[in-house]
Structure 1
Amino acid sequence: MGYPKDLLTSRSIIKRGNYALIPQEGLVNNVIPGFEECTISILASPRLGAHFVDYIVTMHEGGKNEKGYGEEGVQTFVYCIEGKVKASTSKESFTLEEGGYLYCPPGEKMYLENLQKEDTRLFLYKQKHQPLEGHAPWVVSQNVNDLEWVEYDDMANVHIKDLLPTDIAFDMNFHILSFEPGGCHPFIETHYQEHGAYMLSGLGVYNLDNEWVPIKKGDYLYMGAYVPQATYASGREPFSYVYSKDCNRDAKL
């Protein structure tokens, strides 16, 4: 809510390098070269303290990126929140609908095109790849609806899906974590990895650096390295989100 109907207020919380809550309200459009007929907002970035960049993209009728997204040494990932988009590499194309995603390894550009008159909404990501001698990641495209849920830490009311192969060639992964009403993490985590998370459904309350923060569908959450973190579902439907996590590499000195 804001002027002229009410006071200027915000649910945003920004603690650089630690954590950030960014709701949909208050996002501004960023002009990103190569994206046409798109409303796009940069969420996490190095300016926030993240070692990756996340975006929320609304592709309007005719929305596209023909120039190609990505660059040498940088890996990219797109997740279709709603709508229908053609996501392509230099060699193949994929039609992504709700729950569909495409991962492109470093050096392989991603091309996007809205396939409907209505808006298509995307969660987009990029990060520098940490190469590992003798191993190279590859293009991956699937739909989360075709993946099996796995119990999270043997809890029947919390489930997870791995979106990318659990192969050492990949230095990151994307997951969907889903909590049934009343479900929660088994403990408050404190770890080296960073997360960028987009809320797909429901309501939750998140412990972030020992502060409890309400969160809901459409919110974006950045969690930096070592910030204490855990959540529980507080609504009447599953609380779920898609998120990135760095993995399979040692810490650098």
Structure 2
Amino acid sequence: MPYPEGFLKNRSEYVPGKYAVITTEGRVFNVIPGIEGCALSIVASPKLGANFVQMVGTVSTEGKTTMPYGKAEDVEAFLFVMSGQGSLKVTVGGKSETLSAGGYIYAPPGKGVSFASTGDAPVEILLYKQRFIPHPDPAVQVPWTVTGSIRDMDESLYDSMENVFVRDLLPVDQAFDMNFHTLAFLPGGCHPFVETHVQEHGMYIYQGEGLYLLDEKWLPVQSGDFIWIAPFCKQACYGIGRERMEYIYSKDCHRDEPI
């Protein structure tokens, strides 16, 4: 790494119990057992306050898992290929798919996800895991493997606004205790109101720029930033800049709260 130009700087901000913005300037690469040939940074974990683990980074042309990631009886996993000219062979429960930029796969609890570069070019990925909360009704089906690509999906208007768009990546079904969505804002687009809700979010901006309200503070955010939002933290976003702003985010859902 070369000497810095000017003073050291970092836009990251962390308010325990409320939110975190983790920018690219301060990230380090983490050694992850069972993953080789990858430069990955853990951006969220229970140490942050999150109820999940999320990492982002690059899979080289020789990158691969040597054991399924997130394979535990009560753990579910998710992989999203954010960008790059290459592709990955991904395997869940013995079934394999080839994913390129925009592709994703969900691994149900106990399955884990394996991947290996096809060797054509590096790709940038998001890798995620969390503990699965079973549905209280045993008659409800357990979740199943889901795979697809946002490039093959139609977007829907978000709350009937013509400059904000959403995609549901997983089925809206009570079998699932979480979902991933993409949300996109054309310049000037925004949330219809300031949200305060029980769900927590982990979001990764992969295109554009915005202004994000987190608790009582408006913060500039841009492509490459990760944002963690705790339950009930006030949040809202404006898309700014010259291009559309787009991010992928996780959300817990379809479960009651313990007492």
TM-score by length of 2: 0.95
CA drift of 1:58 comes to: 1.0
CA drift of 1:16 comes to: 2.0
Contact 2:60 2:121 in 1 (8 A): yes
Separation in structure 1 between the aligned mates of residue 29 and residue 198 of structure 2, nearest angstrom = 32
How many equivalent residue pairs? 253
| Residue 88 (structure 2) pairs with residue 88 (structure 1) | no
Which residue of the partner structure matches residue 199 of structure 1? 205
Which residue of the partner structure matches residue 134 of structure 1? 139
Aligned alpha-carbon RMSD (Å): 1.4
CA-to-aligned-CA distance 1:88-128 (integer Å, 9 cap, x gap):
11321011111100000000121010113432110011000
Structure 1: state its 5+ residue gaps. none
1:174-193 → structure 2 map (5 Å cutoff): 174-193=180-199
Q: Residue type of the partner of 1:11? A: R
Which residue of the partner structure matches residue 23 of structure 2? 23
Which residue of the partner structure matches residue 58 of structure 1? 58
Q: Residue type of the partner of 2:177? A: D
TM-score by length of 1: 0.97
Cα 1:150–1:16 shift into 2, 3 Å: same
| Identical counterparts, % of pairs | 46
Structure 2: state its 5+ residue gaps. none
Separation in structure 1 between the aligned mates of residue 41 and residue 90 of structure 2, nearest angstrom = 19
CA drift of 1:3 comes to: 4.9
| Residue 255 (structure 2) pairs with residue 249 (structure 1) | yes
Which residue of the partner structure matches residue 7 of structure 1? 7
Q: Residue type of the partner of 1:239? A: M
- Any runs of at least 4 consecutive aligned residues in structure 1 with deviations exceeding 3 A, and if so which? none
Q: Residue type of the partner of 1:49? A: G
| Residue 163 (structure 2) pairs with residue 157 (structure 1) | yes
Contact 2:79 2:126 in 1 (8 A): yes
Separation in structure 1 between the aligned mates of residue 115 and residue 221 of structure 2, nearest angstrom = 30
Q: Residue type of the partner of 1:134? A: A
Which residue of the partner structure matches residue 37 of structure 1? 37
| Residue 127 (structure 2) pairs with residue 124 (structure 1) | yes
Which residue of the partner structure matches residue 103 of structure 2? 100
Contact 1:62 1:117 in 2 (8 A): no
CA drift of 1:17 comes to: 2.1
Contact 1:60 1:117 in 2 (8 A): no
